[in-house]
């Protein structure tokens, strides 16, 4: 077991995390800062609400209170100008951009006839188009410095039909195609493109609001944080073009085989629900 890769020294690195006002994005932004990176906390939520608790300002304040560096940038990822500004703020505030995490997402698990075109368009805009636009503006900085990691939070490409989640999977699998295509185009520039997805349900506001089983079936966001940091510990050209599942990444890069500590209730459920092939 190589636990050192879970805590790489990211001093001098700069990361942008979308969807960082709550859930996985917030946990990852805090973790990146804890390991030395300056973080652009990007999301649309500037104020916490009962239904959607958390804001970019709360995340950034928590990072700064712990001694880290962070700036909150209000970003509607559907707006190209807002995404361009997000990247430009990273460079103007911290001088560079090393890590881009496309985490912002919209979920809608309904059949085709319960998914009107407006809902389909929203998922395409937030899940795949926003990730593409962010890559478009971030990549020149990474290519110039010959170092960068792009990580898209999405399932890997597969042929299963995914009934009840067709529109959602179209958008998410577009993110996977973006990651592996970017990897092929920019490995020579020492810029990595990868996707990452949990094997099980993660405790987030989405799993709460959508009533995805219950807390006995959930893992904490820390499993994705550990997996992401283990990936960012690698030289980009040596760890690129992969469609990772969190367990597989942690086993291969950190030698971890026991995942019990990540369960929200401290023990694995009798019959865990796996979502790695959504």
Active centre residues (catalytic): 168
Task: State in Å, rounded, how far the first CA of the chain is from the last one.
Answer: 29
* 124, 171 Cβ separation under 8 angstroms: yes
* 28, 221 Cβ separation under 8 angstroms: yes
Helix/strand/coil (H, E, C) string of 78-131?
CCHHHHHHHHHHHHHHHCCCCEEEECCCCCCCCCHHHCCHHHHHHHHHHHHHHH
Which contiguous run of DSSP H or E holds residue 149? strand 148-153
Q: How many CB atoms lie within 10 A of CB 95?
A: 11
Q: Which of 8, 13, 2, 31 is CA-nearest to residue 223?
A: 31
């Amino acid at each position: 077991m190589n636990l050192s890769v879970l805590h790489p020294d990211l001093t001098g690195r700069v990361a942008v995390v979308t969807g960082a006002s709550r859930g996985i994005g917030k946990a990852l932004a805090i973790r990146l800062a804890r390991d030395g990176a300056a973080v652009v906390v990007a999301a649309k939520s500037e104020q916490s609400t009962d239904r959607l608790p958390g804001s970019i300002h709360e995340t950034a304040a928590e990072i700064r209170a712990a001694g880290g560096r962070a700036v909150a940038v209000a970003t509607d990822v559907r707006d190209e100008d807002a995404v361009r500004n997000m990247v430009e703020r990273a460079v103007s505030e911290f001088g560079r951009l090393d890590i881009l995490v496309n985490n912002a997402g919209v979920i809608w698990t309904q059949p085709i006839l319960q998914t009107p075109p407006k809902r389909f368009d929203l998922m395409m805009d937030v899940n795949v188009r926003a990730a593409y636009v962010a890559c478009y503006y971030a990549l020149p900085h990474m290519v110039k410095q010959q170092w960068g990691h792009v990580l898209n939070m999405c399932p890997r490409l597969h042929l299963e039909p995914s009934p009840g989640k067709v529109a959602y999977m179209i958008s998410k699998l577009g993110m996977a195609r973006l990651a592996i295509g970017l990897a092929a185009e920019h490995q020579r520039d020492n810029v990595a493109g990868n996707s990452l997805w949990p094997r099980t349900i993660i405790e987030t506001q989405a799993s709460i609001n959508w009533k995805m089983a219950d807390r006995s079936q959930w893992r904490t966001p820390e499993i994705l944080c550990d997996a992401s940091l283990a990936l960012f510990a690698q030289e980009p050209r040596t760890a690129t073009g992969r469609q990772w599942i969190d367990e597989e990444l942690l086993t291969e890069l950190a030698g971890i085989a026991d995942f019990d500590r990540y369960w929200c209730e401290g023990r694995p459920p009798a019959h865990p629900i796996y979502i790695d092939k959504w």
